[in-house]
Amino acid sequence: MKMLNIALPKGRLGEKVYSMFENSGYECPSIKENNRKLIFENQEKGIRFFWVKPSDVSIYVERGAADIGVAGKDILLEYKPNVYELLDLNLGKCHMCVAAKKEFCEEDVKVLKVATKFTEITTDYYSKLGRDIDIIKLNGSIELAPILGLSDVIVDIVETGTTLKENNLEVKTKFLPISARLIANKSSFKFKCKEIENIANAMKEQVEKND
């Protein structure tokens, strides 16, 4: 049996994603014993999991260090990795949104200053609207930008809305639904076809069960 290397996104989404693999018959009990180790395998099942930063999953998969992995649709749209998208896992559901201070009105400015981690998604969104923008690329705590006057608005992921609310910001436009996707390396998909198909089918059953 060929071993399948699986990149899991570290963090709150990762726990849910691992449970889905577990419920699909691809468990790896040692993963729950040690929270500093990064690689875990179950030889019997032919799988090896490793935890990577969520935004790095598609890099591991694109370059074949992982055969399959789970990445958010936001990352796939932003970085456009050359991978196959096999399945919508219906997990980690959130929206890409434009948010700002309650009192801010877009019509008041000619060139909109937009802070975001997602420069491609943002450029694409505003160019379709024909809106002139000045993009400010940040790497985290995006919500600070409009508060400190660094930007007029932000484009970011909103899940529960708590982060915006606690910083006195609000959603102005919700424009893109996001969820976690099972992705595969293109050549692994050829050479480990059976193994990948089995796992994708088992995961699909779980998604349908959870619906």
List contacts with ligand PRP (CB under 6 A): 140, 142, 156-163
Q: Biggest alpha carbon distance in the chain?
A: 63
Using alpha carbons, select from 65, 71, 75, 64 the residue that is nearest to residue 87. Answer: 71
Between residues 116 and 185, which has the closer beta carbon with respect to ligand PRP?
116
Between residues 46 and 161, which has the closer beta carbon with respect to ligand PRP?
161
Minimum CB–partner distance for residue 154 and ligand PRP (Å): 9
8 burial (CB, 10 Å; 0-12 / 13-18 / 19+) is buried
Minimum CB–partner distance for residue 2 and ligand PRP (Å): 33
Q: What is the DSSP letter of 92?
A: S
Minimum CB–partner distance for residue 152 and ligand PRP (Å): 18
> What does the block give as tokens for 158?
């909103």
Minimum CB–partner distance for residue 165 and ligand PRP (Å): 8
Between residues 89 and 199, which has the closer beta carbon with respect to ligand PRP?
89
Between residues 163 and 198, which has the closer beta carbon with respect to ligand PRP?
163
Q: How far apart are the C-alpha atoms of 192 and 139, rounded to whole Å?
A: 36
20 three-class SS: helix
63, 74 Cβ separation under 8 angstroms: no
Between residues 59 and 158, which has the closer beta carbon with respect to ligand PRP?
158
Helix orientation angle between 193-210 and 12-23, rounded to the nearest 10 degrees:
100
Minimum CB–partner distance for residue 161 and ligand PRP (Å): 5
Minimum CB–partner distance for residue 190 and ligand PRP (Å): 33
Q: How far apart are the C-alpha atoms of 138 and 164, rounded to whole Å?
A: 17
14, 49 Cβ separation under 8 angstroms: no
Between residues 22 and 56, which has the closer beta carbon with respect to ligand PRP?
56
